[in-house]
Structures are given as C-alpha cells and as structure tokens.
Structure 1
Amino acid sequence: MIDKRHIGALISRHTVTVEAGRLRFFAKATGQTDMRYVDEEAARKAGYLSLPVPPTFLFCLEMESPNPRAAVERLNIDIGRILHGEQQFSYHRMTFAGERLTFETSIADIYEKKGGALEFVVRKTRVTGARDDDLVADLRSVIVVRNG
C-alpha cells in the first residue's frame, strides 16, 4: 500500500522557456492546421503576443522536470503496474512562445478502491509565469496502480 504520509509532498519544481520551434513541432504532430499555432505573423495578426501555447502542451513542459519519474520513485511504485487515469487542466491565462514558466508539482491525494486492488495517486501542478509569479494554469493528473 502506498504510504499516505506523502500527501502534500513537493515532487519537483522547475522552470522552462517555451520555445517557438517546439510549439510548431507540437502543432504538426497533433495535426493542427490553424496558422496561428505555426506562424508568428499569423499569431500577431490574430491579436496574440506570439505563438500561443496549445492547452495540452503544458503537460509536455511539465515532464521536463529534472526527474519526470520523481513521484513514482518517491512512492516506490513498480512502473509496470501503472495505468494513466485522467488529466485535467484549469487555465487562468494564455501563454505564448518566449515565456518562462515555472512548474511546481506535488502529491495532492492518495486513495484506494476495490479493497486496495487499485490505488490512485493524484498529482497537482501549479504553473506560474515569470511576471510576478502570476498563475497560468493548474494541472491535475491521476495514475492508477494495479495491485495483485
């Protein structure tokens, strides 16, 4: 059983700069055809500061922490028993290429179902921008651990 004393523990904190080239690659990989996501001029004509960051791209940046497996390692979970449970995004403002974002991830909850056959680890990540630590987004993800 996963020790619930880990609830509230800080898992990682890192800062990344959003790169325009990576945004273009992400747009291509996800089949985005809207020019605002690949062309700076089109983005500016649409009223954006630069290329906008697509919603799910923040999870890509979250995984750039020094150790993306920190929660799994801290909780001593066998990665072969993990399933992806869910993801949620709460956005507070748009972000753009060139911004520096800080990601702070913690364990928000640990619970079980089916008599402990399934354990759930909820991670929350707070994303802030460089200007006065302004809140950009709250990310939530759940992993499921199969026991038995």
Structure 2
Amino acid sequence: MAIDAGAIGTELPIVESTMEARRLRFFAKAIGETDPVYSDLEAARAAGHPDLPVPPTFLFGIELERPEPFGFLTDLGVDLRRILHGTQSFVYHSTAHAGDTLIARPRIADVYAKKGGALEFVVKETAVAAVDGSPIADLSTVIVVRSPEATA
C-alpha cells in the first residue's frame, strides 16, 4: 500500500520539553563527547554559557518523549517492522541550555517513492523554539519504508 501523499503538510503533536542537566550529561557521555563544556557546569560557564549547553543531535530525541512517537507512521498505514532511519540533519539558530523549555513542532514535509514503489520515504521536519518563540533549530528526518508488495 502506497503512503498517501495527501499527508504532506500534516502537523504532528507538539512536544514541550525542559532540558535537564542530568539528561544532557548522560547524552554527552553516551555519544562520546569529551568536551567538558557539555558535562561540567564550571567549564560551561567559563566558555560563556549560562548553564550546560544542549549537545549536538540531542534535540532529535525530544520528540521520542510523546506516548507514541511513531504513531504518525502507523496512522499512514506504515508497518513499523519495515522502516529504516534514512537521514537526519540539523540547522542550528541558537544554543539551548539546561533549564530551558523547548517547543518542538513537527510536520510531514514530503512523501515520495523510488524503485517503482519498493522504497517509500517520509520526510519529517521539526521546528524547535524556546518558549518565547525564538528559533533554536530546524530538524529534518527521512524515514525509509520498504514496501513488501512492490517489486523493483
């Protein structure tokens, strides 16, 4: 079953998340970040930050905090057993820090197919802003869906 291109432009549930220092430190350690600015408050302040900065790529995970983070795919009729993470990209506008509350506004930006429909792609874009509306980052994720019905 082909993914309906009518989904393009669909706005997904907004996620609000407060950046917690403990989680930022844990994430920095998990990705192998060795710069102490991401784990040591004194080092962060010495570098001119008011608190620990949010590590690169951390923002991708805040959308996973909602109850069914992949529900939008099942709503499109996608069998989650057939998905792959294609790409993700980030455009940063400013740095968020521990204690900041961020608002993520995701939407389906594109749906397309390749290889005669054997591979379908869902592009999700997310605008992340501070609660005052100032932009923090724009995220883009491409999810690849392997279609069992199509032959390439």
TM-score range, shorter chain: over 0.9
Deviation string, structure 1 residues 106-146 (Cα, Å, up to 9, x no partner):
10000001111110000000101012x11111000001111
Q: In 2, are the aligned partners of 1:125 and 1:140 still within 8 Å (CA)?
A: yes
1:62 positional shift:
2.1
Q: When the two structures are superposed, what TM-score results if normalisation uses the length of structure 2? A: 0.93
Amino acid at match of 1:72: L
Q: Distance in 1 between matches of 2:26 and 2:105?
A: 25
Q: How many residues align?
A: 147
Aligned to 2:8: 7
What's the offset of the Cα at 1:66?
3.4
1:96 aligned residue:
97
Q: 1:63: Cα distance to partner?
A: 1.4
Shift in Å, 1:32 = 1.8
Report if aligned partners of 1:10, 1:105 keep a CA contact under 8 Å in 2: yes
Report the AA paired with residue 56 of structure 2: P
Unaligned runs of 5+ in 2: none
Unaligned runs of 5+ in 1: none
Alignment of 1:1-148 (within 5 A): 1-131=2-132, 133-148=133-148
* 3-state SS, counterpart of residue 44 of structure 2: helix
Farther-moved stretch of structure 1 (55-64 vs 105-114) = 55-64
State the one-letter code of the partner of 1:135.
Answer: P
Q: Residue deviations 1:25-52, cap 9 Å, x none?
A: 1111112221111111110011011101
Give the secondary-structure state (helix, strand or coil) at the position aligned to 2:88.
Answer: strand
The one-letter code sitting in structure 1 at the alignment partner of 2:138 is D
Give me the whole-angstrom Cα distance separating, in 2, the residues matched to 1:137 and 1:65: 19
- What CA RMSD, in Å, does the superposition of the two structures yield over aligned residues? 1.0
Distance 2:141 2:55 in 1: 18
Q: TM-score, normalised by structure 1?
A: 0.95
- Give the whole-Å Cα distance in 1 for the aligned partners of 2:8 and 2:41: 42
Alpha-carbon distance in 1 for matches of 2:57, 2:63: 10
Runs of 4+ in 1 over 6 A off after TM superposition: none
- What is the CA-CA distance between 1:12 and the residue it aligns to? 1.5
Percent of counterpart pairs with the same letter?
52
